[in-house]
Amino acid sequence: MRTQVGIVGAGPAGLLLSHLLARAGIDSVVLETRSRQYVEQRVRAGVLEHPTVELLREVGLAERLDREGMFHEGVSLRFQGVDHRIDFMDLVGRGITVYGQQEVVKDLIARRLADGGDLRFEVSDVALDGLADAPVISYTDPSGVRQELRCDVVAGCDGFHGISRAAYAPEVYDREYPYAWLGILAKAAPTQHELAYANHPNGFALYSMRSPEITRLYLQVPPDTDLADWPDHRIWEELATRLAADGFTLNEGPILEKGVTGMRSFVAEPMRHGRLFLAGDAAHIVPPTGAKGMNLAIADVRVLAEALTDYFASGDEAGLDAYSDTCLRRVWRAEHFSWWMTSMLHNAPDGDAFTRKLQLAQLRYTVASRAAATSLAENYTGLPHRGGIA
């Protein structure tokens, strides 16, 4: 079989790329090793930057997002028991929207199938060949038959553990953090309308939400944490301690899901090898503190879709040649912002009183200086798609 663009991975990056290409009249096939049910239920990020929301609206994918998403005009930095609100609308005139990554995936799958898109779930043994000039993706379909997909271009959107990046040897920049997040989904109505990032002597905590009935909460824990050591009552007690502030109440409820997620920064350069182009987590990982992961993936495929549109329309490869450098400028800006947020808010295991004083000094400066708060707001709500990144 043949198509113009073979896409490995049915996460937000791969699915959105397929949709953008279809709008330009470009054929694609999306291959995914997991089931449709799995990718639609996999709970991941939940913060959409302003440019991400604008793009989804522009391409007709925001009907449910606009109906069910929770628009936030700011966030709070909470330390020493006091809330300090960063007012995004006042500082930069835009906000963010809380809408779960799995909901974005559901919307994308539904739209691609309604439009006749070719999505193939539960494939296995995926392999890439001929990436220099004539790519071939081979795989085993759900019935056990070996298949070959010949294409002009391959988009590797298969995440950090996928096969795409392993098809060549990019230069890798990697940092693992000495802490992790214990995250829960709870059937408990949020008691405030915006996210709160808390710095506490016991460790970081994040107060978030997914809907008017569901809260999403996180605690800083060691990377080797055993969930068995964190029964529900201990989680609620620690959340109440770390999130404490005047006037704040924490609703408790049944915990629907819990898990421990390690934290790392990772970048692979270049994001292109021959006719293979990486996007999203296949090329870069950020610690979740800055809420950048899904937004970076969407920014990548926007650039890639525009470059592929030019290529298939006229043979112009300028956009493809610039793809990696264009994306990496944004990626490294997001890596820095995410590292800065993470180091300011988390307690290092080997930290001392001096380190703690530095953190508090940075937090006080960020909330007291309009310039510093504006920088946080500008980066958190999302840099413009074009311009604004040196």
Comparing CA positions, the residue from 159, 174, 177, 157 lying closest to residue 224 is 177
Is 19 known to be catalytic?
A: no
- Cβ neighbour number for residue 178 with a 10 Å cutoff: 13
What confidence category does residue 45 fall into, taking pLDDT thresholds of 50, 70 and 90? confident
Provide the pLDDT for residue 387.
47
d(CA 267, CA 284): 4
| Per annotation, catalytic residue among 12, 179, 288, 346 | 288
Contacts of 284 (CB under 8 A, 6+ apart): 266, 267, 268, 296, 331, 335
Nearest Cα neighbor of 328 from 275, 271, 380 is 271
The band of 43, judged by pLDDT with boundaries at 50, 70 and 90, is: confident
The pLDDT, as a whole number, for residue 271 is 98
Instruction: Establish whether 288 is a catalytic residue.
Output: yes
Q: Bigger pLDDT: 387 or 96?
A: 96
Which residue do the tokens 């239920």 mark? 41
Query: Could you tell me the pLDDT band of residue 390, with boundaries at 50, 70 and 90?
Result: very low
Whether the CB-CB separation of 83 and 76 falls below 8 Å is answered with: yes
Residues 136-164 have pLDDT tens digits of 999 999 999 999 999 999 999 999 999 99
- The tens digit of pLDDT for each residue in 224-249 reads 999 999 999 999 999 999 999 999 99
Q: Cα(249)–Cα(39) distance, rounded to whole angstroms?
A: 34
Closest CA to 97 of 122, 123, 124, 64: 64
**CA pair distance 101, 62, nearest whole angstrom:** 13
Report, as an integer, the average pLDDT of 29-50: 92
Per annotation, catalytic residue among 84, 200, 273, 292? 292
Q: What is the pLDDT of residue 386?
A: 59
**pLDDT for position 21:** 98
pTM, whole model, 2 decimals?
Answer: 0.95
What would the pLDDT profile of 341-357 be if each residue is shown by its tens digit?
Answer: 999 999 999 889 999 99
Does 72 qualify as catalytic in the annotation?
yes
* pLDDT value of position 89: 98
| Mean pLDDT score, 367-385 | 95
Q: Is 303 exposed, middle or buried (0-12, 13-18, 19+ CB in 10 A)?
A: buried
Q: Is it the case that residue 388 has pLDDT exceeding 70?
A: no
Residue 101 and residue 48: Cα distance in Å, rounded? 9
The pLDDT value recorded for residue 224 is 96
Task: Look up residue 278 and give its two tokens.
Answer: 């990486």
Instruction: Provide mean pLDDT across the span 298-326.
Output: 97
3-state secondary structure labels for all residues of the chain: CEEEEEEECCCHHHHHHHHHHHHCCCCEEEECCCCHHHHHHCCCCCEECHHHHHHHHHCCCCHHHHHHCEEECEEEEEECCEEEEEEHHHHHCCCEEECCHHHHHHHHHHHHHHCCCEEECCCEEEEEECCCCCCEEEEECCCCCEEEEEEEEEEECCCCCCCCHHHCCCEEEEEEEEEEEEEEEEECCCCCCCCEEEECCCCCEEEEECCCCEEEEEEEECCCCCHHHCCHHHHHHHHHHHCCCCCCCCCCCCEEEEEEEEEEEEEEECCEECCEEECHHHCEECCHHHCCHHHHHHHHHHHHHHHHHHHHHHCCCHHHHHHHHHHHHHHHHHHHHHHHHHHHHCCCCCCCHHHHHHHHHHHHHHHHCHHHHHHHHHHHHCCCCCCCCC
Q: Which of 72, 200, 273, 284 is catalytic?
A: 72
Percent of the chain beyond pLDDT 90?
Answer: 94
Residue 233 known to be catalytic: no
Mean pLDDT to the nearest integer, 161-169: 95
Query: pLDDT higher for 390 or 35?
Result: 35
Per-residue pLDDT, averaged over 15-26, amounts to 98
- Lowest mean pLDDT segment, chosen from 68-82, 216-230, 374-388: 374-388
pLDDT digits (tens, 9 = 90+) for 261-296: 999 999 999 999 999 999 999 999 999 999 999 999
| pLDDT in the model for residue 243 | 98
Q: Which of 197, 218, 311, 323 is catalytic?
A: 197
Active site residue: 177, 311, 323, 380, which one? 380
Q: Is the peptide bond before 254 cis (omega within 30 degrees of 0)?
A: no
Mean pLDDT of the chain: 95
Angle at 291 between CA 173 and CA 63, to 5 degrees: 130
- Residue bearing tokens 């404490």: 244
Active site residue 197: yes
